[in-house]
Amino acid sequence: LFRSFTHFAGCGTLKQGSDSMKIDRARAQKAFADYAAHYNAADAKVKLKIDHTYRVAALCARIAQSLALPPEDVDLAWLSGILHDVGRFEQLRRYNTFIDAQSVSHAALSVAVLFDDGRIRDYLDDAGADALLRTAVEWHSAFRLPEALDDRTRLFCQILRDADKIDILRVNVETPMEEIYNVSTAALRRSPVTPAVLDAFYAHHCVLHSLKQYPADNAVGHASLVFELCYPESLRIVDEQGWLWRLLDFKTDNPDTAAAFAAIRDELHRWLNAQSA
């Protein structure tokens, strides 16, 4: 259905390896559930991140399996998904927002909770993969990965980043944007799209947070995540789930914004068709 992942910019080449460790998924899932239980699951934003975590972990495992990685590496990819957003809960408790620019880097906070505070040992005893997991968590939401990563670390970073991007599309459909971004429905429906955000979209790469000025920019930015997906399985999942098109069915009272989203849908259809040619 889709061409080799090496077609996609910035994804590099696949190299396998093994940390030769066994991960107890039940133990890791319980550790995450116990940690999240300290926060109010009745809060829609807390529940959002709990559900997102489990879905990202499952997506990581699916992508890893599609790459024919050994079972231990599939489990390691799954674990990176379980760990990647633990800092979101403290971010919400301290700042009442998921917007990093208005609070702190949630990835850095996840690293602090897991590795500086030592909670990683709640998930597994073996420290052999700590450096890899720390890097994957630290860079999962960055605009670009560092150039100096070894091939194996880059592989797991890319699997996690793909899985996270895929589920972000779902989150922004299932959860009202008003809740995620603390904006009113009126502001969302009259929002324009920043020209620099459209320029980034048509350049086929992620949109920097610093370019976003209006609420509608978030939907464009999330749609642009598709351009950065590394693996054919990731694009298959996007096609299968259909959240991208529901995200782009953006309700607006602004005619310029309506025209912009129609053109964005056309461009994404064209681009995705080109990947499957």
Q: Is the pLDDT of residue 79 over 70?
A: yes
- Higher pLDDT, residue 41 or 157: 157
What is the average pLDDT score of the chain?
Answer: 92
The torsion defined by the Cα of 89, 184, 225 and 58, in degrees rounded to 10, comes to 40
User: With contact defined as beta carbons under 8 Å apart, do 21 and 126 qualify?
Assistant: yes
Whole-number pLDDT of residue 14: 52
For the stretch 126-135, what's the b/e string if a residue is b when 16 or more beta carbons lie within 10 angstroms of its beta carbon? eeebeebbbb
Q: Is the pLDDT of residue 201 over 90?
A: yes
How many whole angstroms separate alpha carbon 172 and alpha carbon 5?
26
Residue carrying structure tokens 């150039």: 147
Number of H helices, E strands in the chain: 14, 0
Closest to 83 (Cα-Cα) out of 121, 45, 44: 121
Whole-number pLDDT of residue 2: 58
- Higher pLDDT, residue 15 or 218: 218
Structure tokens at 245: 């098109």
Amino acid in the structure at residue 243: W
